[in-house]
Amino acid sequence: MNKLILGAVITTLNMGISITAAKADCGDISIGAMSWASGETITAVATFVLEQGYGCSVQIIPTDTQPAVTSLAENGQPDIVLELWKNLAADYDNLETSGKIITASNAFTSGGEEGWWIPASLAKKYPELRTIEGVVANPELVGSRFHNCPIGWGCRIVNDNLKDLHQLEANGIEVFHYSSGASLVASIAAAFADNEPWFGYYWGPTAALGKYKMTKLHSSYVDPDQHSINQNPYSSEDKLALSGFPSTPVLNVVTADLAKREPEVFKFLQNMSFPNDIISKMLAWKETNKATAGEAAAWVLKNYKDVILSWVNDDAKAKLSELL
C-alpha cells in the first residue's frame, strides 16, 4: 500500500469520511459499530470497502450488543451490525424467525473461543498434552498448576466445576485463582518470557493469543446444553458432567430490507468472515502500538489485502486494488 494512500486510509477510517468522491452506486447505509477494539476495527474495514469499493455512503452509529438488537427490533436500524455476540443478544432468534434480520456470515470463522490452553511449543514437544486427559496424566509437564478465571467471571463457575470433574487437584495440579484479567495475561507473558509451561483458561480472539502462540486442548465431548448446566451456579452436583466449551456464534447481521435493497453489499457481507488468528494478531498489533481503530483497520487492509479482496465482486476488487 502506497504510504500516501495508507495515510489517507487512516484519516478516512478515523474520521468516517470518504477519501474519494466515489460514485453513489449503492446509496446510504448505516452500520452499528460495537464499542470494543475488534468491533470498531471490523466496522472500519467494512466502511472502507463499502465506500471505496461499492460507492456507498456509510453512516456509523456507535452501539453495543443489546442496544443494537433493540434498535433492530423496534426501528429496523441500523442496516448492518458487525461482530454481534449471539450469546449476549436476547431475542436474536425471534428477530431472525420473524424475518426482520438475516445472519449474513460468521464474523470469526471459528466463532468466539473459550477453553483450556497450553503453549503451542509445549503441545509440539509433548503431543499427549493436546487433550485434558493427557494433561491430567502428566501434571509435571504443565508445571502442575491450572491458571483459573478471576473471581466474579462467568467462566470461573464452569472452570470450578470442570476442575472437580477432571479431578485436577487430586491428580497433583494446583488451581491458582487470579484477581483480574490483567494478572491472568501477565502469567502467560511471564511463562513465555521464562520459557516455562503454562496451563489454564483463556479465550479468543484476543491480543494475548495474537502475541503468544497457544494451543487449545481438545475436548472429546462438547454439549452446549451440558455446558449451560455447568455454568449455572445453582446446578446441583448430580447434574454436572464433563463437556468442553462450545464455540460462541459471533455474527455479521443485516436487516431484511438491506439484503433486498443492496444485493451486492449483502453478498460481500455473506463472504466477510475473519479467521480468528487475524483478529488476534490485529488486536496484539493495536495494543502494542496504541493504535486507533482506523490505524488498525489500515494495518489489516495492508497485511491481509488478498483476504479482503476475496470477499468482494469484480468491480469492487478493481477499485480497491488501485488503493491497496
| Measured distance CA(241)–CA(179) in Å, rounded | 27
Considering the domain architecture, whether residues 144 and 218 belong to the same structural domain is answered as yes
Give the per-residue pLDDT at 137. Answer: 97
Tens-level pLDDT at each residue, the chain (324 residues): 555 455 555 555 565 544 443 445 789 999 999 999 999 999 999 999 999 999 999 999 999 988 999 999 899 999 999 999 998 887 899 999 999 999 999 999 999 999 999 999 999 999 999 999 999 999 999 999 999 999 888 899 999 999 999 999 999 999 999 999 999 999 999 999 999 999 999 999 999 999 999 999 998 899 999 999 998 888 999 999 999 999 999 999 999 999 999 999 999 999 999 999 999 999 999 999 999 999 999 999 999 999 999 999 999 999 999 998
d(CA 78, CA 58): 11
Instruction: Please give the model's pTM, rounded to 2 decimal places.
Output: 0.88
Of 175, 207, 239, the residue at which a domain comes to its end is 239
Give the position of cell 484476543. 206
Residue 57's beta-bridge partner residues?
A: 28
pLDDT of residue 13: 57
Within this chain, do residues 124 and 206 fall inside the same structural domain, yes or no? yes
Asked if residue 271 and residue 185 are part of one domain, the reply reads no
Tell me if 274 sits within 8 A of 107, measured CB to CB. yes
Same domain as 122, residue 106: no
User: Does residue 7 sit in the same domain as residue 19?
Assistant: yes
Identify the pLDDT of residue 14: 61
Domain count, the chain: 2
Q: Are residues 284 and 191 in the same domain?
A: no
Containing domain of residue 64, as a range?
3-110+249-321
**CATH number of the structural domain spanning residue 83:** 3.40.190.10
Q: What local confidence, expressed as pLDDT, does residue 152 receive? A: 86
Rounded to 5°, the CA angle 20-313-33 comes to 60
CATH code, domain carrying 175: 3.40.190.100
Distances (CA, A) of 47 to 105, 168, 212, 269, 299: 17, 47, 30, 11, 15
Residues constituting the chain: 324
Per-residue pLDDT at 2: 52
